[in-house]
Structure 1
């Protein structure tokens, strides 16, 4: 039998079995709900390249806007045939449903999970000169100073409802402290304010903060993952002081609700293999991103837990987008 006849026989067998097969000729569209060039876009493109042998061509489509809601909505409303998949992220599937007054999709019902992709630690950093002046060298020192001096410390973020803001509010709540939140128009202005001493500490993305940590301009007190980050093994996790504290930046792959389980299983198998490839892990390590391949069920349970967690955090912060 000729080799080229095999794919046709496989497709025919799947059709007879009632299993919808991913097209061998039509490309898969992977919607990234953020602009090109960022970490989520870069990692999506890297994985799309690695799965082309098993899934065929995967085309990246950037649909940015409304904090990721526009792209996520495009995935939710696509045909559930496995030919349109997308990125689910902390913002689109855990924060935005509580931050925005009106949502175009239901984060808990309009998507079928495929696999978690990556998580990137955030890190609690303090201005190095401030740390020296106030004798704050550990997370315990920061908490003790804040408790003894209510309102004397402040922290910056990239804006109300941003990851840095919500991490700060969760930290204040669990530590039993009060620090003034100063929102900036984006992560870069917030980091510049920290470096210049206008604010005392920030919760920043590790990839963004790492250069200034190495240069000694910022002091890393703790990472926000549940366990220590491989990129900063000497820096403790906040959870070592405040048990259960975890505020990761994460993203993964989802399909529209109703996508057949057999199709989801095939997508999961291909993308999990790509995430586990040593070359992929080395490439993502440069972005301070840790691959987290999961089953669809595990990713679904994780997103459900994150949605419930951020309901409390967003409501406590008072942040709202109309």
Structure 2
């Protein structure tokens, strides 16, 4: 073989290796790691999207890897081969809160991942026990704040545990409102909500998807959402930012790939999943979970996660929360 033909063969071979990850992402099953147990809203939305991208990406297999506040599943993705065959869910906890909450992390949330797209945003909501609110004459967020100021050290609030979204949102609310309320951590969001329903705590800041059934049933009263804007899912309920400018503590999650995944592979995954997020079927299905689809570019999602990490670094530090 002459030199010219040898160079042509080498170039063709190099091109085939460069294209291999993209071909693998298209032709082989993709593993989507969900760092939480089956059955919750994150798992449900992941499974819904896996079905929607079947035509463009092929089979997407959901692999639930719960534990350590999501760190176990996130670490699986961080250490996977960057070939497009393993992707994962990134969430408020795994990529914004845990880096400051845990003294030792198995992965670097800032360096070990590349964003694919944000998936959803779900507002949190300040809720009180409806019967207790009637008893204390609390009908608005301003009433709750006024009661707290008139009755120092009498209020308490529950959350799903130290460093949980409800805990950190509660600490942010207390700081901005200039009030005191004792934090009572429970072993998960469900026990915290049961405690609120039983009258063991005075208020919670809960995920809207979790609180909505009891709000609709009249057992809980919604005082404010913690998103920047009011939620169309709770007509007439103001945003906490109407009293405290810039206050924003949403629950969010999205899709990430291991650092080093080729840009062409990330672009292919982004197109498939953002197209799926924009379909009327997905919007309808997510609306049942009170989740708003938020398709983004990879760059936008990376920037968003970085801003959330910066925000929660300050919040966790101010709260003094630590898990280990």
* TM-score, scaled relative to structure 1: 0.93
How many pairs align?
311
Q: Which one is further off, 303-312 or 207-216?
A: 207-216
Question: Within 2, Cα distance between the matches of 1:268 and 1:125?
Answer: 36
Aligned residue number for residue 188 of structure 1: 190
Return the offset for 1:131.
1.5
Backbone CA RMSD of aligned residues:
1.7
Mapped contact 2:278–2:293 kept (Cα < 8 A)? yes
Return the offset for 1:25.
2.9
Task: Say which of 264, 270, 273 aligns to 1:271.
Answer: 273
Question: Within 2, Cα distance between the matches of 1:208 and 1:14?
Answer: 51
Mapped contact 2:27–2:57 kept (Cα < 8 A)? no
TM-superposition CA deviations, 1:3-52 (whole Å, max 9, x none): xxxxxxxxx99946944423243111111111111111111111011111
TM-superposition CA deviations, 1:57-77 (whole Å, max 9, x none): 111111111111011011011
Mapped contact 1:22–1:82 kept (Cα < 8 A)? no
Mapped contact 1:76–1:256 kept (Cα < 8 A)? yes
Q: Which one is further off, 287-296 or 204-213?
A: 204-213
Task: Say which of 91, 97, 101 aligns to 1:99.
Answer: 101
Map residues 233-252 of structure 1 onto 2, 5 A cutoff: 233-252=235-254
The SS at the match of 1:262 is helix
TM-superposition CA deviations, 1:206-230 (whole Å, max 9, x none): 1221121122221100011111112
Shift of the 64–17 alpha-carbon distance from structure 1 to 2, 3 Å rule, reads closer
Return the offset for 1:261.
1.2
Map residues 162-311 of structure 1 onto 2, 5 A cutoff: 162-311=164-313
Shift of the 205–289 alpha-carbon distance from structure 1 to 2, 3 Å rule, reads same
| Structure 1 residues without counterparts, runs of 5 or longer | 1-11
* TM-score, scaled relative to structure 2: 0.92
Question: Within 1, Cα distance between the matches of 2:90 and 2:275?
Answer: 19
Write out the 4+ residue segments of structure 1 that deviate beyond 4 Å after TM superposition: 16-20
Aligned residue number for residue 9 of structure 1: none
| Structure 2 residues without counterparts, runs of 5 or longer | 1-11
Mapped contact 1:154–1:182 kept (Cα < 8 A)? yes
Return the offset for 1:119.
1.3
Question: Within 2, Cα distance between the matches of 1:129 and 1:60?
Answer: 41
The SS at the match of 1:85 is strand
The SS at the match of 1:21 is helix
Question: Within 2, Cα distance between the matches of 1:196 and 1:231?
Answer: 25
Aligned residue number for residue 73 of structure 2: 71
Mapped contact 1:14–1:21 kept (Cα < 8 A)? no
Shift of the 15–52 alpha-carbon distance from structure 1 to 2, 3 Å rule, reads farther
Aligned residue number for residue 113 of structure 1: 115
Question: Within 2, Cα distance between the matches of 1:14 and 1:135?
Answer: 73
Question: Within 2, Cα distance between the matches of 1:34 and 1:66?
Answer: 10
Return the offset for 1:112.
0.4
The SS at the match of 2:22 is coil
